[in-house]
Amino acid sequence: MKTKIFELSVFISLFLCIIGCVSFENNCDDIRHNLLRLHVIASGDTKEEQELKLKVRDAILEKGADVFSQNDTLKTAESKIKDNINLLKETAESTIRENGYTYSATVELTKSYFPTRQYENITLPAGYYNAVKVIIGEGEGQNWWCVMFPPMCLPAASGNEKELKDVLNEKEMDIVTGGSKYEVRFWIVEKWQELKARLESDQD
């Protein structure tokens, strides 16, 4: 009898864990759909190439401040970015030339995979996000990323939590500010998203 009770307890615990993780992943998916990331990829991993990546990043943020800020919705932000893709590309390439390099730059609005990432007191779940991707040269170096909508990484941004509260609901804010409380669930979501990404890649 005791064995059956124990087995039932384990089954119920696993069931509740699965249900909880599914609900958590659904909330994470809503978070992904409400954000727009910036993804800058260096040509390579030399010190000079990594320094160039940061200079391109700074130029993109400065030149694109009017593009990325003062957007009421994600749809508006994406529309403005599409209209200004050439401006952002020209900004990246002129910065590259000013620093003595001849790399070309690719700038596109696309979906990119991001691992779980912590920005100060904010943790964003792993998965695919809409992103402005800036690739320098062959794009074989380490990358840098931030959140462009809401404009958390712009110089005029007023603070991580304040910006996010404009686009995330109470439960979603609890997740991104939950820190260690959700550490295990973030790990599970990341492994699940990595598996999905590999499966999708195999099908291409």
102, burial (CB in 10 Å: exposed 0-12, middle 13-18, buried 19+):
exposed
Side-chain-side CA neighbours of residue 21 (13 Å): 17
Q: Is the pLDDT of residue 15 over 50?
A: no
- Total of domains in the chain: 1
pLDDT of 132 reads 92
Mean pLDDT, the chain, whole residue set? 82
d(CA 17, CA 3): 21
Range(s) of the domain holding residue 177: 34-203
Within-domain flag for 24: no
Within-domain flag for 42: yes
Question: Structure pTM?
Answer: 0.79
- Which parts of the chain fold into alpha helices (H)? 2-33, 47-63, 65-68, 74-83, 85-98, 160-165, 170-176, 183-203
Q: Which of 18-22, 66-70, 127-131 has the lowest mean pLDDT?
A: 18-22
Q: Is the pLDDT of residue 49 over 90?
A: yes
Within-domain flag for 25: no
Within-domain flag for 20: no
Cα separations in angstroms, 173 against 116, 133, 161, 196, 203: 16, 25, 8, 25, 34
Within-domain flag for 111: yes
pLDDT of 90 reads 94
Angle at 77 between CA 62 and CA 84, to 5 degrees: 55
Within-domain flag for 188: yes
Within-domain flag for 27: no
Within-domain flag for 3: no
